[in-house]
Amino acid sequence: MTEPLGLRGYGPRECGSCRWWRPILEDGRGPLGPCRLSVRTGDFPGTAPICERYLSREKAVPSSPLPPPPRGRTTPKPVAPAVHRGDEPEGPLPSEGPPRPGAPFPEELTLMTREEFLEAIREALGEEAAPVRLAPRWEGGTVVLRPKDPATQSREIPLDSLFHKIVMIRDRLRLLEQRINAHEKLSDAEKVEMQQYLTRCYGSLTTFNLLFREDRDRFVGDKA
């Protein structure tokens, strides 16, 4: 069976072995994905060199807030006039210090940007998503392509390999659907039109639903 995304071996000096990198697509260069910390923008291969934010996959995600972004990417802080009561001495306010364990983060840290929303979608479709399994009766099976001419040699394709490619198509269609819904420059009418094409794609692929073990993983086309 073709090795799933994100489970291929990467060296300790490559982004593929970093916990912040998440594979979502694959092309001739191998698995591609984003950095959850946005150290690099866009999707890039896991063979890229690591940066100063590297975190091994064997290590747990730190519970404390992430360090500030790299130089050049600053978040403006709200500025408000200081208010003093008549019975309080004037002077600089004491620093609040780091938040206590379990205390809520300030509002500016809880707001989700569009890029963070898309990263959450990519992560849901990445290696942390529940694995898609082949139905038991097809495990170890083979697809035989037999030409009409008996003198022409037939070809056999392992069902495991075919199933993996079908799942990749399904995941990319779902990711495309999410990106269309979140696109800020498309009108509602344009989004509906593109959704119709995607729904037809799902309907054309329902033939392969018999390969999926779980109903929730199958393609869903037009519903009457």
In this structure, are residues 86 and 92 in contact, taking their beta carbons and an 8 Å threshold? Answer: no
24 and 123 in a single domain? The answer is: yes
Last residue of a domain, one of 101, 129, 157: 129
- Residue 76 included in any domain: no
140 and 54 in a single domain? The answer is: no
157 and 121 in a single domain? The answer is: no
Q: Which residue has the tokens 């849901």?
A: 124
- Residue 70 included in any domain: no
51 and 157 in a single domain? The answer is: no
3 and 30 in a single domain? The answer is: yes
Whether the full predicted model's pTM is greater than 0.85, yes or no, is: no
- Residue 3 included in any domain: yes
Total domains in the chain come to 2
Average pLDDT (33-62) is 81
124 and 168 in a single domain? The answer is: no
Q: Pull the structure tokens for residue 87.
A: 């019975």
* pLDDT tens digits, one per residue of 157-193: 999 999 999 999 998 998 999 999 889 999 999 999 9
26 and 122 in a single domain? The answer is: yes
List of residues 6+ apart from 167 with CB closer than 8 A:
132, 217
Q: Which residue has the tokens 């780091």?
A: 98
Q: How many CB atoms lie within 10 A of CB 220?
A: 13
* pLDDT tens digits, one per residue of 201-218: 999 999 999 999 999 889
Q: How many CB atoms lie within 10 A of CB 2?
A: 14
125 and 40 in a single domain? The answer is: yes
- Residue 165 included in any domain: yes
Q: Which residue has the tokens 């916990």?
A: 19
What letter does residue 185 receive in the DSSP assignment?
S
124 and 167 in a single domain? The answer is: no
Residue 149: what pLDDT?
Answer: 92
What are the distances in angstroms from CA 112 to CA 37, 56, 78? 13, 25, 17
Q: Which domain holds residue 1?
A: 1-60+117-129
